Structure 1
Amino acid sequence: MNGARGLAGRLAEHVAGLLFPPQCAGCGREVSNPGTVCGRCWSRLRFIERPYCAVMGTPFAHDLGENFLSAEAIADPPPFQRARAAVGHDGIPRRMIVGLKYHDQTNLAPWMAQWMLRAGGELIADCDVILPVPLHAFRFWSRRFNQAAELARAVAALADKPFEPEALKRVKRTRQQVGLAATERQRNVSGAFRVPNDQEIKIRGRSILLVDDVYTTGATVKAATRALLRAHAASVDVLTFSRVLPEI
């Protein structure tokens, strides 16, 4: 019986592949596997590789030595320990995030998570638990899912790490961050996050990996990190799929 079900499942996948062939996540060309990008789009991706700031993960144009810090990390040290991202945000990664976030393309999350796993290997190895940046309940209701949670769930599954989507709550209904200046972003998310009392046991004394889709100014993940530290997290690292990069 199980063999018959397996055969039926494979047949259904084959038929679906014929009727709806997978398309490149960047340009829509037909590709061999869903969630992948074609060769032309792959060549246009800007993967974030070393050398980069040991804290912020911002890439350097030249190798300045191990553990060298960016001006941002020195002038305005973040509450989290380290931040890493898989790719620069412009172009194809931006379109992938828009597809995941606004067009219900949740099938992209497992593929995006594979890139994040490569970028954040050291952070994932060090963490005890993986959390997404949460949505406010109203926005979750209107969107029906949290794109950060989809990415965090996929990363946790690939890394075989605990996933705790309820451990951090967004208690303040904030404006969309898109289009806001850096100082406006900070005010917008100030006090927006809290660890519920019954969830603190999942946070206290543990190393947390906080996952979001894109790192822009860092205002959101910094506010979320402060809430986790108030709940006595041992440390917080941040992993995102993409990052808005300065010109280098």
Structure 2
Amino acid sequence: MNERTVNFRTIGNAALDLLFPPSLYCNCCGNVIDESRTYNLCDHCIAHIRWDGSPVKDLGGLKVLRCTEYGLYERTLIFALKYNGKTYIARDIAQIMADRLSLAEISFDVIVPVPMYAAKERKRGFNHAALIGKYLGRLVSKPHLAHGLLRMDNTLPMRGLSPTERSQNVKGKFAINEKYVKMLKGKKILLLDDFYTTGSTALECYSALKRAGAADVYLLAFAAR
């Protein structure tokens, strides 16, 4: 997919937003709502999302925070963003994350999304984690480095892999973008992703950030098991 195709897709999504404003429909089920609904979710869906308010957990030095548990409604939201082109949902997920950060009272310096492999990102037209990170950065007034981390090689889909296979699948596949080393060294990093399962991807990203001199790394995931 070339740059012109990606631009046309972006323009197309913007046009759809004008024709079918996202605040008219529930992000999760598509039922008609009004603009007063929190996160653009209907009463039914917001009541069935399993919100999480537990403390930060430590995973080998990586501090992990989630907004929700992983389930049907949470997966539906992310899949609508990633695979159905409903990029406007990124704004509401960013708001959910901003509220979660406020509740946890976490301080950090810069947002870095988990990267996609470049060819895969070009094919989809966007990196969903980076899109969420862009809106989150605006909400919390923090810099967002969309390409602070790089995925050096393509990986297999994680679904269906065992924990050991997941770890091997991503081992050594992430590196710091040299352009941003000075912006990351000595800083508290908020690593951003949609799902967190075994932590294999997050830990590889954490290792790359620590090698670049990051002082501390938090992972904020929208949903986690």
Normalised TM-score (structure 2): 0.85
Distance in 1 (CA, whole Å) between partners of 2:185 and 2:23 is 46
User: What's the RMSD between the two structures over aligned residues?
Assistant: 2.4
Residue in structure 2 matched with residue 209 of structure 1 by the alignment: 190
Residue in structure 1 matched with residue 31 of structure 2 by the alignment: 29
Aligned positions of 1:96-107 closer than 5 A: 96-107=77-88
Alignment CA distance shift 1:227-1:105 (3 Å): same
Q: Secondary structure at the match of 1:25?
A: coil
Residues 117, 124 of structure 1: 8 Å contact kept: no
Residue in structure 2 matched with residue 73 of structure 1 by the alignment: none
Residue in structure 1 matched with residue 110 of structure 2 by the alignment: 129
Structure 1 residue runs of 4 or more that deviate by more than 4 Å after TM superposition: 122-125
Distance in 1 (CA, whole Å) between partners of 2:103 and 2:209 is 20
Bigger mean CA offset, 26-35 vs 168-177 = 26-35
Residues 79, 222 of structure 1: 8 Å contact kept: no
For 1:82-136, what per-residue CA distance to the aligned partner results, in whole angstroms no more than 9, with x for missing partners?
2111111201110010011111111001111111112223777411100100101
Alignment CA distance shift 1:192-1:79 (3 Å): farther
2:182 maps to 1:195: no
Structure 1: give runs of 5+ residues left out of the alignment. 1-11, 57-76
2:51 maps to 1:47: yes
Shift of 1:17: 5.4
Normalised TM-score (structure 1): 0.77
For 1:6-42, what per-residue CA distance to the aligned partner results, in whole angstroms no more than 9, with x for missing partners?
xxxxxx99x8458x87221222210113961111111
Residues 48, 87 of structure 1: 8 Å contact kept: yes
Residue in structure 2 matched with residue 8 of structure 1 by the alignment: none
For 1:157-207, what per-residue CA distance to the aligned partner results, in whole angstroms no more than 9, with x for missing partners?
100001111221111211111221111111111001001333211211111
Shift of 1:79: 3.5
Q: Secondary structure at the match of 1:205?
A: coil
How high is the sequence identity, in percent, across the aligned residues?
31
Instruction: Mark the structure with the bigger radius of gyration.
Output: 1
Letter in 2 for 1:55: K
Structure 2: give runs of 5+ residues left out of the alignment. 1-14
Distance in 1 (CA, whole Å) between partners of 2:61 and 2:175 is 15
Letter in 1 for 2:60: P
Indicate which of 225, 229, 232 corresponds to 2:213.
Answer: 232
Residues 23, 40 of structure 2: 8 Å contact kept: no
Alignment CA distance shift 1:158-1:144 (3 Å): same
Aligned positions, number: 209
Q: Secondary structure at the match of 1:135?
A: coil
Letter in 2 for 1:184: E
Bigger mean CA offset, 121-130 vs 149-158 = 121-130
Distance in 1 (CA, whole Å) between partners of 2:159 and 2:101 is 25
Letter in 2 for 1:142: K
2:87 maps to 1:85: no
Residues 167, 202 of structure 1: 8 Å contact kept: no
Name the structure where strand makes up a greater proportion of residues: 2
Residue in structure 2 matched with residue 38 of structure 1 by the alignment: 42
Distance in 1 (CA, whole Å) between partners of 2:20 and 2:81 is 20
Letter in 2 for 1:233: A
Residue in structure 2 matched with residue 171 of structure 1 by the alignment: 152
Residue in structure 1 matched with residue 12 of structure 2 by the alignment: none
Distance in 2 (CA, whole Å) between partners of 1:95 and 1:221 is 22
Indicate which of 112, 116, 140 corresponds to 2:93.
Answer: 112
Residue in structure 1 matched with residue 138 of structure 2 by the alignment: 157
Distance in 2 (CA, whole Å) between partners of 1:90 and 1:149 is 22
